[in-house]
Structures are given as structure tokens and as C-alpha cells.
Amino acid sequence: MILSIKKYIALVATLSVVAVLSACGSEEVDAPLSLNSVVVIDVVTTIYPVTYFVERIGGDLVSVTPLLKPGVPSHDFEPGPSDIIELAGADMVVYNHPSFEIWVADALDATANASRVIVQAADIDASESDGIDPHVWLNPLKAVAMVEKIRDGLVAVLPASANVISANADDLIAELTALNDQIVESLAVCGHREIVVSHLAYGHLTGPLGVRQIGLSGISAESETGARRVAEVIDEMRELKLKFILQEPLSNSDLAKTVARETGVEILQLHPLEALTEDEQQVGDDYFTVMQRNIDSLVLALGCSGG
Ligand SMILES: [Zn+2]
């Protein structure tokens, strides 16, 4: 419905070439490569990691519209009228998992479109953690599986560009695999087995390392925390002699400050990557630069020797 400028240009270019071919009386126009190479598809995405993966894998072949903008907390998001228009006009929609984007099934129903390809990037094994933890992208190896699903979706829409798409995905998978190796190495020998975090976003990252997260709030960043929970966290921190609280950038830091004051510990940043802040977006941060800082914070908070 809504035609982006890039897509419009691609369409005009395609039509002109088709017109030239028709004028020459050519009967054999079976998907020439030169035509497919100018097609740019409109992909609507949701949260930051999905957006970043689609941009990396799709490259010049995609025009990406993220529904969640930088600086906006993601768990509470609900699509507005302009988001519905974007979803209706998309060639492809990529989201993380219905346990994060709880609005997605209704929004896709409301904008049903037979030619649109829909990709749910994350698969979650509910038996792995207490409840469904949708923050799958924070584990680089699980992110590889997301990349593969997004790659397959893009190839389904743009089969003539399968080589480019697969090569882009391979590059990204190599980077994610190297990042995972670095995490395993950096966090192999540590003084602590627990971290205190803003919300329970890090199970996929820390679980395989045998690290337990103690949350100021639950799996959703916006869930309420009562005074009793704060007292429990303070007790546990004292007992475990933990020296740091890991606070995320886009959630209210009052609670972390209260606990830090009470226990005399320091606050470090740990980033769930659900959304970049506007500043991070401006300086060109991405999944990998933020994950590097996350590793630094975890090495400090856990007292690991492999920094
Ligand atoms: Zn979260």
C-alpha cells in the first residue's frame, strides 16, 4: 500500500526495462537477473536485534522500517495506526517471538495480506528456563538460529539474490560465533556465580555459563517491584558479597540507586539490546559494540580473570 521511495524507484526501473523488452518483441522474459538486482523489498521489523539482523542480511536489497524506535522501552509497545499501515504494506514482517511482541498476532490478522512473508525469528524451548524468556538474541549462538530463519525468509522473497543474502548471513554468523567464543573464554573463571540485574533478560546469555541472575524486576522490564522484593535482593547481595548492580539504560534507575546506596555497591551498565538509546544510535553503536560493553560489565561484576 505504502510504496517507499526506494521501492518506487525499483518498480519504475523494472517497468522501464520490461517496456524496452516488450518493444523489442522478446517473448522470453523469464526473471532476468538484471531486473531482480534492482528490486528492494519493504521489511517491517519490531525490536532492535531483529532490525539489525535484517539490515545486515538484507543489505541493499531491503528497506527496513522498525516499528520500535530508539529510546523507547519495548515490552509495553503497542502498534498505532501508522504502524498498522506499515504492516499492511510490507513485503515481509520479521518479529522476535509472540511472548515479547504479544500484539503481533492481532496486528498481523488485522492486516492480512497473502503475498506478505512473515518470519518469527526466535524459537524458545520453554523447558529451558522458568517461564518463557524471549530475550533469545542475547545468546550469540541462539542468535545464529535467528539469523538462519531471517536468511531463509529473505531468500523466499528474493530467490534470485540467494547468493548475496547467504553470504551476508554467513558473515554475520561468523561474527556471532566469534563473539560467543569470546564470552565463554572471558567468563570461564570467575569469583561469583550471580549477577543482580534490572530485569530478568539475561537467562539465555548467563544460563549456559552457570550464572544465575537476581532480578530487581521480572522477565518484563516494566513489571512492578515491591519493597519486599527490594529487601530480598539487598539481603542476597550482602550474603553473596556482590559488589555490583547491573542496570540497563532504558529502565528507571531509582531502584538500582536505592539498592546501591543501601548496600554500598557500584552500578554498571548491562544492556538487553531490546532498543538502542538515541545516543547509541547516533554514535553508531550496534549489537556487537553493545555486547562488547556487556562482556566488560559481566567480567567486572562476576570477578572473572579472563578480561
Ligand atoms: Zn526485556
What percentage of the chain carries pLDDT values higher than 90? 73
CATH class label, 5-183: alpha beta
The reply to whether domains 5-183 and 185-302 share a CATH topology is: yes
Centroid of ligand 1 to alpha carbon of 219 (angstroms) = 6
Give pLDDT tens digits for 137-174: 999 999 999 999 999 999 999 999 999 999 999 999 99
pLDDT at 8: 38
pLDDT at 129: 61
Q: What angle do CA 68, 42, 175 make, to 5 degrees?
A: 70
Q: Label residue 22 exposed, middle or buried (CB < 10 Å: 0-12, 13-18, 19+).
A: exposed
Give pLDDT tens digits for 284-307: 999 999 999 999 999 999 999 965
Kindly tell me if the per-residue pLDDT of 22 is higher than 60: no
Write down the CATH number for the domain with range 185-302. Answer: 3.40.50.1980
Distance of CA 286 to CAs 46, 201, 216, 274, 290, Å?
16, 18, 26, 12, 6
Q: How many other C-beta atoms can be found within 10 angstroms of the C-beta atom of residue 129?
A: 15
Q: How confident is the model at residue 70 (pLDDT cuts 50, 70, 90)?
A: very high
Centroid of ligand 1 to alpha carbon of 135 (angstroms) = 6
pLDDT at 223: 64
Question: Which segment of 42-51, 223-232, 279-288 scores lowest on mean pLDDT?
Answer: 223-232
Q: How far, in Å, CA of 230 to CA of 77, rounded?
A: 26
What average pLDDT does the structure give for the chain?
87
Centroid of ligand 1 to alpha carbon of 68 (angstroms) = 13
Centroid of ligand 1 to alpha carbon of 156 (angstroms) = 30
Of the candidates 44, 42, 43, 51, the one whose C-alpha atom is nearest the C-alpha of residue 274 is 51
Q: How confident is the model at residue 218 (pLDDT cuts 50, 70, 90)?
A: confident
The domain spans of the chain are 5-183, 185-302
pLDDT (mean) for 243-252: 92
Which has more pLDDT, 7 or 137?
137
The whole-model pTM stands at: 0.86
Q: How far, in Å, CA of 292 to CA of 25, rounded?
A: 58
Centroid of ligand 1 to alpha carbon of 130 (angstroms) = 15
Of the CA atoms within 13 Å of residue 215, those in its CB half-sphere come to 17
Which residues share a beta bridge with 290? Answer: none
Centroid of ligand 1 to alpha carbon of 230 (angstroms) = 19
Centroid of ligand 1 to alpha carbon of 199 (angstroms) = 7
- DSSP states of 255-288: HHHHHHHHHTPEEEE----SS--HHHHHHT--HH
Centroid of ligand 1 to alpha carbon of 142 (angstroms) = 16
3-state secondary structure of 295: helix
